[in-house]
Amino acid sequence: MDPITLAVVGNALSGICEEMSAALVRTAYSPNIKERRDCSSALFTPNGELVAQAENIPVHLGAMPFSVRAALEAFPDWAVGDIAVLNDPFCGGAHLPDITFVAPAFHEGELLGFVAVRAHHADVGGMTPGSLPGAASEIFQEGLRIPPVKLWRKGELNRDLLSLVLLNVRTPWEREGDLRAQRAAVETGIRRVVALARRIGAKTLFAAYRELCLYAERRMRAAIEDVPDGTFRFEDFLDEGIAIRLELRIQGDEVELDFSGTSPQVGFPVNAPLAVTASAAYFALKAVLDPGLPPNAGAWRPVRIIAPEGTVVNALPPAPVGGGNLELSQRIVDVVLGALARALPGRVPAASQGTMNNLTIGGVDPQTGRPYTFYETIGGGMGARPGKDGIDGVHTHMTNTLNTPVEALELAYPLRVERYELREGSGGKGRYRGGMGIRRDIRVLGHRATVSLLAERRKERPWGLAGGAPGTPGEDLLVIEEEERRIPAKGTVEVPPGAIISIRTPGGGGYGPPRGGPE
């Protein structure tokens, strides 16, 4: 295929993914999707290989091929109008709030490929509102677990299955709205893929799939070849002392990431399925080696991941995994970046905040008398870069979401934002300063509320590089009648009306020794 046609078709496929996400954001019910854009879209070949994606959330997109593969294994036969859904982390999913839709695109009886949409739902049941209990000891406490099932068959909704799902969540009206928004996004993708096939022909479309993956593979191999051969080690820890250890081995145009020596899986929700570990590794490699690389299946052919079963980076059921997708993924990025910093000095930034600061608040809205569940992640400091300061108050690495606007939050929930500001001086010192973290204070109005936190870097500080200082760790406080007390970064607390939850996120690490010598 000539380069111009390939570029045109490749951009058309990426544009389809962007339009799918836009359709989902426009039609979603929950602020988490329509405001924070906690969703992702991608296209796959008929045999399930990733060929294009929107610029959405890295932890979704790197793991989504595992979901598509699980759906294809569960259903060898597909028809027009079929839509499979799943969220099971041990069968292609990441964590339970992320529900994935997979659907085929047909043209004149020929399968053109699959479209997939993933969205984080604000509640899928479980022991606490928001379905991210920091105290969960097994996956059954985290919510409703859905294996690959067809929610629509030949365009007909399986109402019994939908009823089963909605009966097990706290906000069924919102969940149904978001599920139907995902269907709208899937249908948008199917229409656009079919229209593209009509315009250029299925044969040209399939050739483009093949060439796009080969092109990405060539670029990744060339980028790996620019890294010196050798073994580069790095380790980092979660706040509870859980070790993530990596040996990064470069040999010619291939790379192996060996997580042997990483801590065994644990009885609280920081474990990750293999899909999440692969997603984090792919993101970090792409970010350093070739940021403009087309992120499709071809790009990962030179990459091999060794993640022993039963460890926190490849957990087995019934391990709780809610925070593996959110917190451990960030630490996996940190260790891959740390190893790459030793292989490529001067090319890698210091550690960013290393957490998503997951906050869920649930209760009963005194105005409507109905349950509500609020979920958001909160930005923090980006690590300083070679030649530049870090960015203040931003989502980094595996999350690419927006903040929840104050107006949208206060309109949708019985909550009020009392304070929202940068944490002055929280970035690590150095020749280039780490980005500052955020302070976000939210007051609970009306009734009592259940508050769950799932956060990291409260003890282990984001590391600096090349002589830069680490960033300031985060902290979490509950304020009742002006009296402050610390609350656990992984856990659940009952909060009286009028109380304030104050989340103070970490700053990024500094880069290089401070001017004028050590301070």
CA atoms of 326 and 376, how far apart (whole Å): 11
CA atoms of 296 and 13, how far apart (whole Å): 11
- The answer to whether residues 227 and 298 touch, using CB atoms and an 8 Å cutoff, is no
- The answer to whether residues 390 and 382 touch, using CB atoms and an 8 Å cutoff, is yes
Letter string b/e over residues 480-517, b meaning 16 or more CB atoms within 10 A of that residue's CB: eeeeeeebebbbbbebeeebbbbbbbbbbbbbbbbeee
Q: CA 413, 419, 423: angle at the middle one, nearest 5?
A: 130
- Write the burial class of residue 219 (CB in 10 Å: 0-12 exposed, 13-18 middle, 19+ buried): middle
Least confident of 100-104, 243-247, 444-448: 444-448
Within 13 Å, how many C-alpha atoms sit on residue 407's CB side?
0
pLDDT digits (tens, 9 = 90+) for 186-208: 999 999 999 999 999 999 999 99
Kindly state the percentage of the chain with pLDDT values over 70.
99
Q: Tell which wins on pLDDT, 60 or 63.
A: 63
Q: What is the mean pLDDT of residues 274-282?
A: 95
Looking at the predicted structure, is the pLDDT value of residue 121 above 80?
yes
pLDDT digits (tens, 9 = 90+) for 65-83: 999 999 999 999 999 999 9
Give residue 401's pLDDT band: very low, low, confident or very high (50, 70, 90).
Answer: confident
CA atoms of 310 and 335, how far apart (whole Å): 19
Which amino acid type is present at position 162?
Answer: L
The token duo for 135 is 């105290």
- Write the burial class of residue 451 (CB in 10 Å: 0-12 exposed, 13-18 middle, 19+ buried): buried
pLDDT digits (tens, 9 = 90+) for 348-366: 999 999 999 999 999 999 9
CA atoms of 433 and 427, how far apart (whole Å): 6
Give residue 174's pLDDT band: very low, low, confident or very high (50, 70, 90).
Answer: very high
The token duo for 138 is 């097994």
pLDDT digits (tens, 9 = 90+) for 105-116: 999 999 999 999
* Nearest of 397, 393, 383 to residue 510 by alpha carbon: 383
CA atoms of 345 and 327, how far apart (whole Å): 26
- The answer to whether residues 283 and 351 touch, using CB atoms and an 8 Å cutoff, is no
Q: CA 129, 132, 136: angle at the middle one, nearest 5?
A: 105
The label of the residue with tokens 């644990």 reads 266
What rounded mean pLDDT belongs to the chain? Answer: 95
Looking at the predicted structure, is the pLDDT value of residue 518 above 60?
no
* Nearest of 65, 39, 63, 37 to residue 51 by alpha carbon: 65
- The answer to whether residues 197 and 9 touch, using CB atoms and an 8 Å cutoff, is no
Which amino acid type is present at position 231?
Answer: T
CA atoms of 114 and 12, how far apart (whole Å): 15
Give residue 266's pLDDT band: very low, low, confident or very high (50, 70, 90).
Answer: very high
Residue 26 backbone zone (phi > 0: left; psi -120 to 50: alpha; other: beta): alpha
Which amino acid type is present at position 444?
Answer: V
Q: What pLDDT score does 315 carry?
A: 98
> What pTM did the predictor assign?
0.95
Q: What pLDDT score does 399 carry?
A: 87
Strands across the sheet containing 371-376: 371-376, 358-364, 449-454, 490-495
Q: What pLDDT score does 519 carry?
A: 44
Given CA atoms 227, 281, 382, 263 in this order, what sign does their dihedral have? negative
CA atoms of 187 and 193, how far apart (whole Å): 10
- The answer to whether residues 404 and 31 touch, using CB atoms and an 8 Å cutoff, is yes
Q: What pLDDT score does 1 carry?
A: 83
Helices (H), 435-500: none
CA atoms of 209 and 10, how far apart (whole Å): 8
pLDDT digits (tens, 9 = 90+) for 463-500: 999 999 999 999 999 999 989 999 999 999 999 999 99
Give residue 517's pLDDT band: very low, low, confident or very high (50, 70, 90).
Answer: low
* Nearest of 453, 505, 147, 487 to residue 326 by alpha carbon: 453
**Number of residues assigned to the chain:** 519
Beta-bridge partner residues of 84: 102, 150
Helices (H), 168-291: 172-200, 202-225, 274-289
- Write the burial class of residue 253 (CB in 10 Å: 0-12 exposed, 13-18 middle, 19+ buried): middle
pLDDT digits (tens, 9 = 90+) for 154-167: 999 999 999 999 99
- The answer to whether residues 33 and 373 touch, using CB atoms and an 8 Å cutoff, is no
Q: What is the mean pLDDT of residues 23-29?
A: 96
Within 13 Å, how many C-alpha atoms sit on residue 89's CB side?
33
- The answer to whether residues 323 and 269 touch, using CB atoms and an 8 Å cutoff, is yes
Which amino acid type is present at position 250?
Answer: I
